[in-house]
A and B are shown apart, each in its own frame.
Chain A
Amino acid sequence: MLSQLALLPVLLPLIGAPACAVLRRPTAAWAFASTVAVLAFVAAAALLQATARQGVIHYAFGGWAAPWGIEYRIDLLNAFVLLLVSGIAAVVLVASRASVWHDIAENRRTLFYVACLLCLAGWLGIAATGDAFNLFVFLEISSLATYALVACGRDRQALVAAFNYLVMGTIGATFILIGIGFIYMLTGTLNMADLAQRLPGLGESRTVFAAYAFIVVGVCLKLALFPLHLWLPGAYTQAPAIVTAYVAATATKVALYVLIRFSFSVFHLESSRLALSLEAVFISLGVVAVFAGSLVAVFASNLKRALAWSSIAQIGYMAVGVGIGTVAGVQASLIHLFNHALMKGALFLALAAIAMRVGGNELQALRGIGRRMPLTSAAIVVAGISLIGVPGTAGFISKWYLVTAALAREQWLLALLIVAGSLLTAVYIWRFVETAWLDQNPAQPATPPQEAPPLLLAGTLLLALANIYFGLDTRLPVGTAAGAAAGLLGDSAAGLLGHPPAPLPGAGAP
């Protein structure tokens, strides 16, 4: 059984999606999809434990050895991303029923859940695979399903947002395809571990440079790194409430994983001459993203839109971590990847509940919501202070590691900018607090409390409390990220930051 474990998280939704399509009743589809996601999460958790214990796990499809066949090569980083994505998907899908029934017409609900499972299969397939072309195929599965899910939004703008997403996403995917084609021409292989071995031997090849450039631009389109973020605000704002929670907490995280995997595992950015210029690109774009995203968020009149722009800012922080390019920087980036998924998952789930009760996420309509939906609003505040990075929350851990990584490279200004970005976050979170509690809605003087439906509330609170839990007990994200980053950069300096070296041995270096 253990030998099949590497495949299970991907296989469950992959087979589950067509099986779900055969179901007639939407409730059955919801129950089925949720079960599949929970099982995938359990499998991913077991897989993470197995990788931590015994190092890299290989899985050769069809019994054909790599590089002739397709291979899964699960290390700590793969398992970490698999765990995060399947975990968020499980929580969101279980909590989704009421909101989906509210937003989606009856005849579409079964297909909606099929598309959700297809998305999940795509994301997990990207996170697990050790083959560059296989990654492209699964990227397209998740993308196509996401376009359709976004298009399910209530307003007609959702259609336009989905179309723009489709065009930009496809350009991104085609760029990635070009990049993969280039490196295949040079090396004759598609297996990522094999590529990593053969690419350095090529030296200063212009084709390698172009290949990396195309892959990075393509992935950054999917990641929505400033200035390639244009599809994101529309897609996140217009998508059905549940879809935003589902996608925001996962899709960009998977894209970040791909960026990190290609940069450090395949192309060995850290040891190439390109490193210096790319470092500057990622750090400056990241910082601009932090400020541009936060500023737009501060002035947005719709909370969902504000949080969409906030995602662009948070992606900026992760890009800065990649740009710092040390083990500590990549570790910080991975920690933030984990924590940001928890924050945005909680926030967008809470907004889904509010949209059900209030009919929208316009700030103006949220006056007095703190009294009407006390628990949901409290969840927003908890996730919000985590987003700011207040000590005691997961967000603080992210910022702490990022600032430390910047300081370790003596980038004082960068560290200062990271902290300053947090202050802007505080502004738009405060605007919600003000509206929710201090601002009375004169039209409805006394509305009775009307909380979110139980499952949705439970999911929201679970993710919000996870922000506190992982702010106090940081072993899982910090330890795993340390091991993963050390494995990527082939360095034993993971413990530089005063933290004990990863207690998780054997993140095999490529």
Chain B
Amino acid sequence: MELLVNSVLLMLLVATAGALVVVRGLLASTMLTSVYGLLSASFFVTMDAVDVAFTEAAVGAGVSPLLLLLTVAAIGRGEPRAAGALPILAIVLVTITGALLIIGTLDMPPFGSADAPAHTHVAPRYLQLSGEEIGIPNVVTSVLASYRAFDTLGEVLVIFTAGVAVLLILATPGQRGSARPRYTPGSHSEPHTILQVVSKILIPFILLFALYVQFHGEYGPGGGFQAGVIFASGIILYGLLYGLPTVCRVVRPAVVETLAAVGVLLYGTTGLLAMLDGRPFLDYSVFAANPVLGQHIGILLVELGVGITVASVITVIYYAFANQFEMAEG
């Protein structure tokens, strides 16, 4: 049964990617990208990677299609072009790379075998000892926020860098930051009354759910990154329905931009506290005499940092893109 689901999903993925090669229109491509994200998230579930599936669903089927849509809205769909000459160079390059990859798979351990080196060398310790050492059930969170916490700091910095880069690229002359509403409220033309009423009820629950995901990451799938994306999606939903100026008045761009930095600093400071005590960076034993409790506090703090930065940066990026769209409209 598992094998069947697995094969069907893979075939659907191939079909989607194939369709993306053929399709020219940008709107259709965006939709297919979203489908691809959702399918790969489903595949990750069959591979037992629930945290990854959660994230991929939020990113691959949520954030990235949203940004693509905003871009397409700002630049226009563009007319599909007739296919030009056969891209021979591309075909050659892809064939060589693909052949090399296939050769590379030939000496790999077979799929799913439990005695592959990947499952016998470093990973067993996480599975066997993280229960005692970290004291939380979700091993992915243990590895992410403690054993390899420095990678995760790097990840937060990547997201922060993306925010800085987008602001730097899209900053309009004379304005500092992503978006500064210049339109009078109400200039947003068609009010979607039903949607607005429904979403007004929905948004508090989205934000509440984000908080649940934030603090539930130790026990089940979830954590700072997923929570941040969900929190930002609540803000984005508000923005899509009430217009950028309104959402900017409720959630001020300057505040969000500062919060993006605050999240990274929270993460960094959590690590620094250990250094001040003469221990290595990100050693959580500094927080409590009981090492497991120390791990708890440390993980809580860094996940909070992740959540704050992710939610802020995604909001900032949304503001910057939506601002471009409104300028293109105006």
Residues of A within 8 A of B (CB): 3-4, 7, 11, 14-15, 17-19, 21-22, 59-64, 67-70, 105, 107-108, 110-112, 114-115, 118, 121, 125, 131, 133-134, 137-138, 140-141, 144-145, 147-149, 151-152, 178, 182, 184-190, 198, 205-211, 213-214
Contacts and interface: CB of A to CB of B under 8 A. Distances in A.
Contact of A15 (B167, B262, B265): B265
B7 interface: no
B261 A210 contact: no
A185 B257 contact: no
A107 B176 contact: yes
7 contacts: A7-B281, A62-B147, A70-B148, A108-B168, A206-B103, A206-B106, A206-B107
A61 B149 contact: yes
B312 to A, nearest CB: 11
Nearest 5 A/B pairs, CB to CB: A210-B104, A188-B121, A148-B165, A137-B154, A18-B261
A62 B121 CA distance: 20
Interface stretch (B24-32, B49-57, B272-280): B272-280
A233 B172 CA distance: 27
Contact of B101 (A7, A62, A210): A210
B104 A207 contact: yes
Contacts of B120: 188
B168 A64 contact: no
Given A4-B275, A60-B280, A188-B122, A21 B261 contact: yes
B154 A22 contact: no
Interface string B138-179: 000000001111110111011011101111110101111100
Contact of B164 (A67, A125, A145): A145
Interface string B238-260: 00000000000000000001101
Contacts of B118: 184-185, 187-188
Given A125-B154, A137-B154, A213-B100, A59 B280 contact: yes
Contact of A62 (B107, B160, B264, B281): B281
B119 A19 contact: no
Interface in B265-305: 265, 268, 272, 274-275, 278-285
Interface string B69-113: 000000000000000000000000000000011011111110000
A210 B164 contact: no
Interface residues on B, range: 35 or more
B281 A133 contact: no
A115 to B, nearest CB: 5
Contacts of A186: 107-109, 117
B291 to A, nearest CB: 10
Contacts of B108: 182, 185-186, 207
A70 B151 contact: yes
Contacts of B192: none
Contact of B175 (A22, A107, A151): A107
Of B150, B260, B284, most A-chain CB atoms within 10 Å? B150
Contacts of B150: 61-62, 70, 134
A9 to B, nearest CB: 13
B164 A207 contact: no
B116 interface: yes
A148 B105 contact: no
B255 to A, nearest CB: 12
A178 B101 contact: yes
A134 B149 CA distance: 10
Contacts of A17: 157, 160, 264
B280 A61 contact: yes
B142 to A, nearest CB: 11
B123 interface: yes
A188 B123 contact: yes
B288 to A, nearest CB: 14
A207 B117 contact: no
B261 A147 contact: no
B282 A62 contact: yes
Contacts of A145: 161, 164-165
B182 interface: no
B261 A137 contact: no
A212 to B, nearest CB: 10
